[in-house]
Chain A
Amino acid sequence: MSLKQLIETGKFIVTAEVAPIKGTDTTELLEVAELLRGKIDAANVTDQQSSMMRLGSMVTSHLLKEKGLEPVFQMTCRDRNRIALQSDLLSASVLGIENVLALTGDVPSLGDHPQAKPVFDLDSVQLLWVISRLNAGYDMVGNELKGKTNFFPGAAVNPGADTEASFEMQIIKMEKKINNGARFFQTQAIYDVNLFAKFMKRVERFKVPVLAGVIPLKSAGMAKFMNKNVAGILVPDELIKKMTTAEDKTQTGIQIAADLIKNLKDICQGVHIMAIGWEKKVPQILAAAGL
């Protein structure tokens, strides 16, 4: 079943992130696909994540699809102007890719090619608008397409914005994304379920499915690093303590993620697991969460 159909059934959705490799050896990527097939509802394929040059997200999405894993093609506005974005959307459509996650993307200076010229011809909201146009059979300037796309567009939201201004604008922007075609949301990693529940209350009226981000902790150091460096992520002290004192850190990290998923189950429509190197452990996390 497609992600759209699955979401429509009201089932608790599980998506997981798969990062394209740096290079052309797809062996491990295909192993991950094999392992995840049947265990998750869709796999998000990142687009030059953190501005690191890698294999393309469209080709990787296509490979996953061939392996029987439903892809969510992530698309950022960092590297392509509006001509290339639209063209890639047409190409993805021809390859049978249905789900697109529209993102603005990070600036190149954060990645491994900091000298690159950033594009940002469009932003995420405008990209969603463009996808809706293509779905309606027109390009963004109104030319009719011979054959239209049939995308199921999604978007990102950060429920952990730390100031009133940032938080309120996330909600305003979420609504703009919905008005421009976003049909589901995936969030930044959630560690504080109560705080997230408050966010979900605020956005309840939108009636759009939200998949809560889950990043399994690998160490206390990783948690501290994210607290310091990643906006919207706040790992509570209690979890950091758990990781510090854990004898088997891997098992503890998996258990924490599983517990989070269990708690999130009653609050939102699904989870989005960003395993960052632990892709092969996703089935274990899901089993521990009883999914």
Chain B
Amino acid sequence: MRQSSPSHRFVAAIIAIVTVAAVGCGKTPPASFRLNMVQATKATVPESGLEKPWASWSRERQQQVATILEAMFGTPDEPVALPETGLDLAKLQLAAGPVRSDIVGRKNGLYREHCAHCHGISGDGMGPTAAFLNPYPRDYRQGKFKFKSTWRDAKPTHDDLVRLLHEGVIGTSMPSFALLPPAQVDALAEYVKYLSMRGEAEIALFTYAEQELGADEALPTTKEFLVDEVLTPIAEKWQGAADARIPVAAIPAGVDFNLPGNDLANRDSVARGKALFLGDGGCVKCHGVTALGDGQANDYDDWNKAIVAVSAEVAVGLLSSKEAATGGMSSDALADHRARSAWLDSFAHVLEGDALRPRTIPPRNLRIGHYRGGRRPIDLYRRLYTGINGAPMPGVGPSGPGGKGSVADEEIWHLVNYIRSLPYEMDGELGADRPMVAKDRF
């Protein structure tokens, strides 16, 4: 065979493809937690009197927070659970790290296997797939959760998280993990709490730095500060979740949840619920008189709202910093101006790369019969009682123990009954300003 024969070339091409593929991409680096850059940048507003250039000063502050967090919480591969967190390290270890089986064939790295591509390694809701999903996957770092049995501001209980993982969230890309063994779901729920506490501690550290520290001051690294002042209040809220369940009123007479929502036996109760829906409940503002979710639809949830707010702030700042006349400035003022411009530029950059494009949250079309927080009457009761934490949906129950809501507790059951009847309600029963058409149900 001569050198130039096609066979030689073919073999050479195959070898070349494999080599290029093997050499072209380097080894994947070990997983690391990503810093909450939006918080970090917010917390490094340049102050006058900075001795270093803003960029290196802010980087040092970020580095310090990263070091503290690593000491308190470890890494994605090796989690740390301080006793104050009340977290179970064995469960965390099952969920953390790369996907692998241990010596008894038990799977480890569950979070990266099942969740990280959506929720991100750091639980920032910015996994690779996130931009395609609507709603976006939850960013755990604010410690806010929607579907739970506790007061609006309270954390979900462990059981709430387990139940959520078991059921999934219908109508979103959040899947049900009912096919995983219970021990794995349990470990994953524990890991969600871990990531959430870590994210909240991160925000607390940056907020402290922003509010309490002067230029060039470092965060305290004493146990009193880090554990007692930062970590414990966060951990206590999680540990207190089980005691923060909302009370559940007795189901009033004339409400029979064993029958479909449109059953005649429920007629009076449904009518009362409807009156509340159209009246005191204030539901029509968002869900519309038709309950098709065609009321106010341009609102954001809390996660997106925060991004919208800082984006606007940064845009305004950039504009005025561009327009500022630097000609007559003293050298100090000029240095401050430069630092501020650098800050604004880097903030704009962070919003591009470390935040998802804000999206509005539409009120639910209540005629489809999809209830993301669960479809049992008790789930709907809880949704209406506290509203949906983090979303614009308000609650009709009291906002805390001993308070008074806009609808009495037992009456909420009638509202629940009405909600359950909506997917069955016939045309003409709407009392709406426009007749319903078949496509509205889809």
Same complex for A and B? Answer no
Q: Which residues of B contact A (CB under 8 A)?
A: none
